[in-house]
Amino acid sequence: MNDVRSVPFFNYPRLWRDEEPAFLELIQEVGRRGAFIMQQDLRDFEAALAAYTGASHAFGVANATDGLEICWQALGLRQGDEVILSSHTMLATASAVVTAGGRPVPVDMGEDGLIDPAAIEAAINPRTVGIMPTQLNGRTCAMDRIMAIAQKRHLWVVEDAAQALGSRFKGRHAGTFGHAAAISFFPAKVLGCFGDAGGVICNDAALHAKMYALHDHGRDQVTGEVVCWGRNSRLDNLQAAVLNHGLKSYGKVIERRRAIARLYQARLGDLGELRLPPAPDSHPDHFDIFQNYELQADRRDELKDFLKTMGIGTLVQWGGKAVHQWERLGFTCRLPKVERFFQRCIMLPMNMFLTDDDIQYVCKNIRGFYGK
């Protein structure tokens, strides 16, 4: 345990290597069928995604960014319409609003890093048409509060569930509270494939039909007739086959991540220099899948550099900036909680490939850094 070992933040080659024979067989099987676009594997995955989340409708898209844009387009976002979102999210959340014709309004975060419902209420004005909460790091927002605000003010809700497949609030899956949601299957996601991929879910048949047409050249899913202008944002059938494979063991993957989070909590929970994310099972309303393990740390940059010398990969999310801090995009607001958070936040390795010894090694080095 004293030697430097390599604990990368994420190990992309292992995504393939750990199950190489199964993937080779799967690709061969799909290839021999010539099943590349809109085939059975995709239909199976769409059905499985709906069944897993409890949504009544689901379809694959090329990536979650497209999925979010399609949600807003289908709802009818118009030029100048404002959508409130957390500033602690990927820029994709905001860009989906812009490319759909609206204006993103980033607001401050709460203690748990997720969008602050009080900040949402404070930002509502006559131009506001919607809210887009990000189910960040695999934790679902307190959606009862957010939905109550939306209902009272007649606002649309699109959930950015890119990081949250399987995460639940009060037993209900992320992505099933609002009008629609998008999920990402980027390789490093808890359910990831071998490229860009995403899914859109919703509980409204008419909205599903609109969104479905938008992602496939405007073609109606049932009749094949063109019913509107659209685009091509289809999920490749081969990627859908990879996702079907991954979904079979998804429960185990989530449990392993939660076990890693428990280990981090047990080994680091006493350090006053750190502020850890909520532990699994710490709140009965939340079931978190730990897409990321993001904490706040004193002397964050020094800690990051030190861990690097010890072979440990870490990441500061979104390249170190919250949405409103990309000033060249025209934002002028100040959001003190998010800004303070971005001076201190760091993500530790969190994935299926880590052993308990890896986690012990990471924790031992963090303790050593703080002289504990």
Ligand X SMILES: Cc1ncc(COP(=O)(O)O)c(C=O)c1O
In whole angstroms, give the CA distance from residue 317 to residue 292.
9
Q: Which is nearer to ligand X, 90 or 362 (CB)?
A: 90
Q: Which is nearer to ligand X, 11 or 233 (CB)?
A: 233
Site for ligand X contains 92 (CB under 6 A)? yes
Cα Rg of the chain (Å, integer): 21
Site for ligand X contains 175 (CB under 6 A)? no
Site for ligand X in 111-140 (CB under 6 A): 134
Q: Which is nearer to ligand X, 106 or 268 (CB)?
A: 106
Q: Which residue of 11, 53, 73, 89 would you call a contact of ligand X, by CB under 6 A?
A: 89
Question: Which residues on adjacent β-strands are paired with residue 7?
Answer: 312
Q: Minimum distance between the CB of residue 99 and ligand X, rounded to whole angstroms?
A: 12
- How many degrees, rounded to 5, is the angle at CA 244 between CA 241 and CA 250? 145
Specify the residue for token string 């006559």: 126
In whole angstroms, give the CA distance from residue 77 to residue 175.
19
Q: Which of these segments, 88-96, 222-230, 302-310, 343-351, binds ligand X (CB under 6 A)?
A: 88-96
**Is 237:39 a contact under the CB 8 Å cutoff?**
yes
Q: Minimum distance between the CB of residue 98 and ligand X, rounded to whole angstroms?
A: 14
Q: Minimum distance between the CB of residue 162 and ligand X, rounded to whole angstroms?
A: 3
Q: Which of these segments, 43-51, 73-81, 89-97, 320-328, binds ligand X (CB under 6 A)?
A: 89-97
In whole angstroms, give the CA distance from residue 311 to residue 60.
37
Mask 141-170, x = binds ligand X (CB under 6 A)? -------------------x-xx-------
Q: Which residue of 65, 167, 265, 325 would you call a contact of ligand X, by CB under 6 A?
A: 65
Question: What number of chain residues touch ligand X (CB under 6 A)?
Answer: 15
Site for ligand X in 176-215 (CB under 6 A): 184, 186, 196, 198
Site for ligand X contains 86 (CB under 6 A)? no
Q: Which residue of 63, 203, 239, 351 would you call a contact of ligand X, by CB under 6 A?
A: 63
In whole angstroms, give the CA distance from residue 263 to residue 72.
40
Q: Minimum distance between the CB of residue 181 and ligand X, rounded to whole angstroms?
A: 11
**Is 224:77 a contact under the CB 8 Å cutoff?**
no
Q: Which is nearer to ligand X, 191 or 310 (CB)?
A: 191
Q: Minimum distance between the CB of residue 135 and ligand X, rounded to whole angstroms?
A: 8
Q: Which is nearer to ligand X, 167 or 365 (CB)?
A: 167
Q: Minimum distance between the CB of residue 164 and ligand X, rounded to whole angstroms?
A: 8
For 284-314, the DSSP string reads TTEE---S-EEEEETTHHHHHHHHHHTTB--
In whole angstroms, give the CA distance from residue 321 to residue 342.
7
Q: Which of these segments, 61-69, 114-122, 241-249, 346-354, binds ligand X (CB under 6 A)?
A: 61-69
Q: Which residue of 87, 93, 233, 239 would you call a contact of ligand X, by CB under 6 A?
A: 93
Q: Which is nearer to ligand X, 114 or 268 (CB)?
A: 114
Q: Minimum distance between the CB of residue 107 and ligand X, rounded to whole angstroms?
A: 15
**Helix, strand or coil for residue 351?**
coil
Q: Which is nearer to ligand X, 234 or 369 (CB)?
A: 234
Q: Which is nearer to ligand X, 238 or 271 (CB)?
A: 238
Closest C-alpha among 131, 110, 130 to residue 335: 110
Using a CB cutoff of 8 Å and minimum separation of 24, what contacts does 256-261 make?
256/352, 257/138, 257/190, 257/289, 257/290, 257/350, 257/351, 257/352, 258/288, 258/289, 258/290, 260/290, 260/293, 260/350, 260/354, 260/359, 261/288, 261/290, 261/293, 261/350
Question: Which residues on adjacent β-strands are paired with residue 346?
Answer: 295
In whole angstroms, give the CA distance from residue 196 to residue 194.
7
Q: List contacts with ligand X (CB under 6 A).
A: 63-65, 89-90, 92-93, 134, 160, 162-163, 184, 186, 196, 198
